[in-house]
Homo-oligomer: A and B are copies of this chain.
Amino acid sequence: MKIGLDIMGGDFAPKATVLGAIEAYKVLQGHTIVLIGDKDAAISILSEQNFSPDNFEFVHTTEVIGMGEHPTKAVVQKPDSSISVGFKLLKEGAIQAFSSAGNTGAMLVGSVFSVKTIPGILRPAITTIVPKVKGGMGILLDVGANADVKPEVLVQFGVLGSLMAQNVYGIENPRVALMNIGEEEEKGNMLCLATYPLLKEASNINFIGNAEGRDLFGDHADVFVCDGYTGNIILKLAESFYVITRKKGFKDEFFDRFNYERYGGSPILGVNAPVIVGHGISNPEAIKNMVLLSKDMVESDLVGKITRAFQ
């Protein structure tokens, strides 16, 4: 397996990304990490670490898409950027997964333009991990790919999240909940009111009803679906709470599981290859785990399973 990593993506690239690649190399066996980006910079960091460049493959690129750049414009205008090249390699099958802690929008645009959406999928979604107080975790999607969605899209998110929970996180028969503002079917905004009956009818997911904001960290459900506007606000709010507990010196096993570093990144589900977007502030630990999550996504054949589910 060849796992592509954008070494130019993220606030601390290429240092953090190359160091993360070294850490990933140490635990990955029989797989190759392909470092995509400024090869000279990478070699220089590797030599500082006395780590042989022969442990990696390199694809040199000359451009970088900045965090603040307009995604579509950037992907089109910078064909030799690490993100654009990464997706080219992914499309050609030269790598089996691609991840980057760079511009999220560019990663989304790249996914949809190059490897393309899986037939039958209306909109890809970005997922995130939600730790449970009692241990284990759930999945929340969408956290930002689609600010507005239709009811049918939310139902698909339920399927995508279930397949991810089952195949990558080993959660059997994952319970799917609709993020809402009341337990009852007749509660919610127009989107939820229209979505609930569709989720109830969906035979390929284990829909258990609505979840409220307070249910997210409990053992209420395994997959929480919502539009990307709501999910993104939830994600950033939860993250800020974690940051506050850390700043205040509260160390705790539950709060530690909020740490994005542990999970490495947020998979984009619904496209024809494993793609992961990392947090902009990714450190080497986060990068390492992003590469390992890439491997898990390839090994579990998540994309194949999603493709068959939507045939």
Residues of A that sit less than 8 Å from B by CB: 133, 144, 147-148, 179-181, 188-190, 192, 212-218, 227-230, 232-241, 243-245, 248, 250, 252, 254
When C-beta atoms are compared, the residue in chain B nearest to A186 turns out to be: B70
List chain B residues, Cβ under 8 A from A241: 217, 238, 241
When C-beta atoms are compared, the residue in chain B nearest to A228 turns out to be: B181
For A190, give its contact among B144, B147, B254 (CB under 8 Å).
Answer: B147
List chain B residues, Cβ under 8 A from A216: 237, 240
**Pairwise interchain contact B240-A213, C-beta atoms closer than 8 A:** yes
**Pairwise interchain contact A229-B133, C-beta atoms closer than 8 A:** no
Q: With A and B bound together, what is the CA distance between A254 and B144 in angstroms?
A: 29
How many copies are assembled?
2
A to B CB contacts below 8 Å, 19 in the list: A144-B181, A147-B189, A181-B229, A181-B233, A181-B236, A189-B227, A192-B229, A212-B236, A213-B233, A213-B238, A214-B236, A217-B240, A217-B244, A229-B230, A234-B237, A238-B241, A241-B241, A245-B245, A250-B252
When C-beta atoms are compared, the residue in chain B nearest to A253 turns out to be: B248
A147-B190, A233-B181, A244-B254 as given contacts; A239 in contact with B214, CB under 8 Å: yes
A291 CB to closest chain B CB (Å) equals: 26
List chain B residues, Cβ under 8 A from A248: 250, 252, 254
**Pairwise interchain contact A240-B252, C-beta atoms closer than 8 A:** no
Listed from nearest, the 8 A-B pairs whose CB atoms lie closest are: A213-B236, A213-B237, A147-B189, A214-B240, A181-B232, A189-B229, A213-B233, A214-B236
